[in-house]
Amino acid sequence: MSAAIEREFQEIDATNDWQARYLEIRHKSSDYPHRVAKYPENRNRNRYRDVSPYDHSRVKLQNTENDYINASLVVIEEAQRYYILTQGPLPNTCCHFWLMVWQQQTKAVVMLNRIVEKDSVKCAQYWPTRGEEVMVFSETGFRVRLVSEDIKSYYTVHLLQLENINSGESRMISHFHYTTWPDFGVPESPASFLNFLFKVRESGCLSPEHGPAVVHCSAGIGRSGTFSLVDSCLVLMEKKDPFSVDIKKVLLDMRKYRMGLIQTPDQLRFSYMAVIEGAKFIMGDSTIQKRWKELSKEDQAPSSEQSPPHPAKITTEKYNGNSVGLESKDQVEKINTSLSTKVQDGTDGSVESAVRKRLREDRKANTAQKLQQMKQKLNETERKRKRCKCAATSKNGLLDLEQTLNHRVVATEGCLDLNLHA
């Protein structure tokens, strides 16, 4: 095992200094322009206004009028690891998501969040389920078919067929879905996480022979950053002297490609724990993988669909005055006290204000998703009525109904804003 990393972990743990270490990383992180994400035409393609891809590392869609998607190519050259870290797709960006997967020659998607967490929609349903085995994304010309589904206690593996409708070509895409990782939190244990990570590795999808794996959670920075950091550090241990791997340096390098990777001190601490545990396999313990599988209890029946609990009081890391990552209030106060002479926190505004901002973003995303579903139903109705030779009358009625729906959505968003600022 890497004694240096374990010793560093024990020293930080003994002094309960993870908050200070996390804030030090935040302070040293690079900041780069992200102007394209702020263009008016791209605003509705961002799940959160304060999580944007840097201009120099953003993934660009090809052969489209607008090449923007909220996704970043993260490169760990020394480890020969390439990841696309992205947000959970929105209803209006699912088509762009699959276009990106196709164009980047991606072999697998790693999903680390649930569709709904704490009563908020964190991601659109962008892949077909058993009840709906095919989804068509006509805007970009793709069809996704569910081929198989393997449900474990805390993760599910889907095999999907992605078809380019225009060319008729199709590819098989593995979809690894971790279903019990709480937002802003950490997995239940390093063993269960590593069992999942090595399942992804065994598929070959992280190999440089394929296009970059697409990794996402809700914002594409916290859980996605943790997954990518642990995997990269373990690869570096395999390729070079394990004692020379510096987790903090690797994370700072990754943050040059996407802002805010690793959102909390707990996620940073868990990353160290997972690397230390994973190093046992690298150092020759051939039985460790079997123990991870046993400890993870993956063959048990899945637990309740309720998301695991996470802290009630939260505050945020900021970019350009907008909220991103979350930490508990007492943690922030402790950080500010211990490091007030070193780093300016930059978290102006109350905890409640930060929570309201995030809730407002989630509610607007929920409203947009409902509107999209309504419009799809209207379009289906319109097509049916056209077949009945009632196109003209139906179209006028549908336009009126759509305008009414749009007015209602605007009114709803206005009420939400008033309530959140009350």
Other CB atoms within a 10 A radius of the CB of residue 46 amount to 22
Element (H, E) at 284: none
Q: Which of 100-114, 236-250, 304-318 has the lowest mean pLDDT?
A: 304-318
The bridge status of strand 116-117 relative to strand 315-319 is unpaired
d(CA 86, CA 259): 11
Calculate mean pLDDT across residues 13-31. 95
CATH code of 3-305, in short, is: 3.90.190.10
222 annotated to bind ligand:
yes
Residue numbers annotated as active site = 217
- The three-class DSSP label of residue 316 is strand
141 has binding-site annotation: no
> Per the annotation, does 183 bind a ligand?
yes
pLDDT digits (tens, 9 = 90+) for 338-375: 443 333 333 333 334 444 555 566 666 666 656 666 66
Q: Average pLDDT, stretch 190-217?
A: 95
CB 257 within 8 A of CB 54: yes
Q: pLDDT by residue (tens digit) across 367-398?
A: 665 666 666 666 665 655 666 554 455 555 55
Q: Where are the domains of the chain?
A: 3-305, 350-421
pLDDT value of position 185 = 79
Q: Is 207 assigned to a binding site?
A: no
Comparing CA positions, the residue from 113, 101, 31 lying closest to residue 362 is 113
By the 8 A CB rule, do 302 and 179 touch? yes
Mean pLDDT is lowest, of 280-294, 297-311, 335-349, for 335-349
Q: Is the pLDDT of residue 62 over 70?
A: yes
Residue type, 267: Q
pTM of the model: 0.74
> Pairing relation of β-strands 120-121 and 155-164?
unpaired
* Of the candidates 37, 44, 99, the residue with the CA atom closest to the CA atom of residue 68: 37
Q: Is position 284 annotated in a ligand binding site?
A: no
Mean pLDDT of 405-409: 53
Cα–chain center distance at 410: 28
Q: What is the pLDDT of residue 281?
A: 85
